[in-house]
A and B are shown apart, each in its own frame.
Chain A
Amino acid sequence: MKAASIQVILCKCCTELPAVLNIERLRKLAEESCNVVSVMMVDAICDGKGLPAVVNNAKEAEVDRAVILACHKKDIDPALFKAYRRAGINEFMIEIVNIREEALLPHASEPERAQLKAETMLAASLARARLLAPLEKQTEAMKTKNVVIIGAGASGQAAAHAAAKTGAHTILIEKTGKSLKAPGIVMPHSQVVGAKGYGGNYQLTIKAGDKIENLDAAAVVIATGGGWTQLKGPLAKAVKDAMPLYKLHEHLQAGSVPKGPVVFVDTPDPTGKTMKVQDYAWDDTLETALQLKRKARETQVFVIFQEMRAFGLSELAYKEAADLGIKFVRYDKSAVPKIDPKEPTNLIVKDFAQGDVLSIKIGTLVFSSIPANQDNQAIADALRIPMSVDGGVRRGSIQRWPVTTPRPGIFVCGSALFPKSNEVAKAEGEAAGSMAGEFVAKGEIEFGGSVAQVTQEKCSACLTCIRTCPYEAPFIGTASKAEIKEQLCQGCGMCVGICPSKAIELHHYTDDQIMAQARELLGGDF
């Protein structure tokens, strides 16, 4: 086997902080290290300008792997990997070391130790880089261009329109039989009951009416929305004619005004043990209260809440509400609003801000609550996606992938995540629909790379990996040994850590690579 030839890149932007780090010492150490054929200093690696020089240098020096001393791996531009690929260097042969956030910034008051740590980190990453192996990703064509959207509410319809614009075939699955205008096919009275496959090639089982049908889908958008609830607890005993927020909204649309004073509470059961995120009042309460007040100026309106969040520009509604004379009463969990024992039509609330105990006469009690949809659990089980603690579908990452689930090809939008207002749900639906359309438009899926692989000779077919994997990637193959379906593998390595026979290996994070890095890191004395 040819010995490794490593190119070391020092990003000046990330690593240069003269008071802490002596970059020349680092450069010298890199030059003296084994297997290093080229050391380069770049102004800013995240800036595309330096890339051609880096890649040319890599070509000239005929390196086959690179170690980059820069900042957080996730903030490095993917353009870097593309440029290296053009130079014939596999993306899995590039090791990025986070000198900035692991050595520079947190140890700025101890420059000598920071320097030694940076040097040790360089040595450790070189040790890891020597063990890296190139990995190729494979592709598989998608069988269909179907985007299946579960739920035809506000967000679902927005998703259908956005996905149809990209050329995907949209299929809306709606539980009820409501009529709606949306591009593509609408399946009323149907529900998803099962799913097989992986991103790009899903086979959904759909219960349409009394029939069970199979449907191929390239991408799935979950837009189930929220559910509805009733008033609960002591309030429900005292107040018989309370109405949920959406009912008041319907009344207002029809032109009727409820008898005042109108009291909005943020949860169906303030005395409930745990307040979930679903229970809080959101900006729709504010909007509806404003509508009511605009229609009937003389009606007294109270909004009683523990936490209220208005989204974006809808915060301006606070100002209008204050001008119109809507009274906001914030209460604390320690003193929840309750019915006056002497006067059963009055609500006693302790104002958290003022400290006063108020007695508010209830004309109409309106509660705002969008609990998690009951169907979420069944859908999450069928598609094998994680749920949040509140009973919503969980997204990949709030900053990086707001409408994506951890499973490729499954997107989520609207109140299926957690309750939100109509506009936000529509915007999210558009985003999820566009992303699903974009996913389908590729026409093929990419898989492989950093995935697990079973060494058949070592496998004792104990089924431990099959029980552990949350994605059901391992299966028992024809040779009565475990195999891993690469399309399903997400590269977490849980099966690798647990395998009692040490038969599974996770590419790019092998035992040797992890332990070599740890050993080198422990070698430095700082």
Chain B
Amino acid sequence: MAGRKPKVVGFCCERHGMDAAVLSARSGKEFDASVRLVQVPCTGRVDGMHILKALEDGADCVFVLGCLEKNCYYDTGSIEGRKRVEYVKQMLSEVGVEKERVEMFNSASTNAWMFPEIVSKMVALAKKLGPIGGEKQ
């Protein structure tokens, strides 16, 4: 489908994830507008259901952005978040959806350049894979 804009949802943790996004914006970095950020208190809060519902509601890709694993504000939060994402990936591959559509990232709140990289990676993937169940470009 020509002219279709990709849709990417990012679940960002309140502590480092969102701060990284905000810092990259403040330091003058531009990233693709297709990304939609949802704030959660910790990536451990992200439920498989949230990711699957987002995919069902029309997202092409979903990413979860949390603290660095050894520096998580809630100690084990981003490790829990990664487990949740791995679980969803496995579920997706079982139903025949590309598991790359869901990804977990970790970033420090002082890392301004990582967030635009994550976004461009996920948006490129969304463009490549197209909508779920649709034709590949």
On A, residues with C-beta under 8 Å from B are 72, 74, 98, 100-103, 105-110, 113-114, 117, 120, 124, 386, 388-389, 394, 396-397, 406, 450, 468, 470, 490-494, 496-498, 506, 509, 511, 514-515, 517-519, 521-522, 525-526
Contact = CB atoms under 8 A, between A and B. Distances in A.
Given A470-B76, A497-B80, A514 B38 contact: yes
A494 B42 contact: yes
Contact of B54 (A101, A406, A522, A525): A522
Interface residues of B, number: 46
Given A389-B70, A496-B45, A497-B46, A526 B30 contact: no
Interface stretch (B20-28, B91-99, B122-130): B20-28
Contacts of B30: 106-109
User: Considering the complex of A and B, which 3 residue pairs feature the smallest CB-CB distances, nearest first?
Assistant: A493-B45, A494-B44, A521-B36
Interface in B47-104: 47, 49-50, 53-54, 57-59, 70-77, 80-81, 84
Contacts of B45: 492-494, 496-497, 506, 509, 514
Contacts of A388: 70-71
B38 A518 contact: yes
B57 A519 contact: yes
Nearest to B16: A397
B18 to A, nearest CB: 8
B74 A102 contact: no
A384 to B, nearest CB: 9
A506 B41 contact: yes
Nearest to A498: B80
A250 B7 CA distance: 65
Contacts, number: 131
A518 B33 contact: no
B96 to A, nearest CB: 22
Contacts of A396: 73
B116 to A, nearest CB: 8
Contact of A492 (B9, B41, B47): B41
Contacts of B46: 497
B75 A386 contact: yes
B123 to A, nearest CB: 12
A506 B40 CA distance: 11
B25 A518 contact: no
Given A117-B33, A492-B74, A511 B49 contact: yes
A144 to B, nearest CB: 27
B31 interface: yes
A522 B57 contact: yes
Given A497-B84, A518-B9, 20 more contacts: A72-B22, A101-B26, A106-B29, A107-B31, A107-B33, A124-B36, A396-B73, A406-B74, A468-B76, A470-B75, A492-B41, A493-B42, A498-B80, A498-B84, A509-B41, A509-B45, A511-B47, A514-B45, A522-B9, A522-B58
Contact of A496 (B47, B59, B70, B76): B47
A159 B101 CA distance: 51
A100 B26 CA distance: 9
A172 to B, nearest CB: 28
A88 B126 CA distance: 45
B114 interface: no
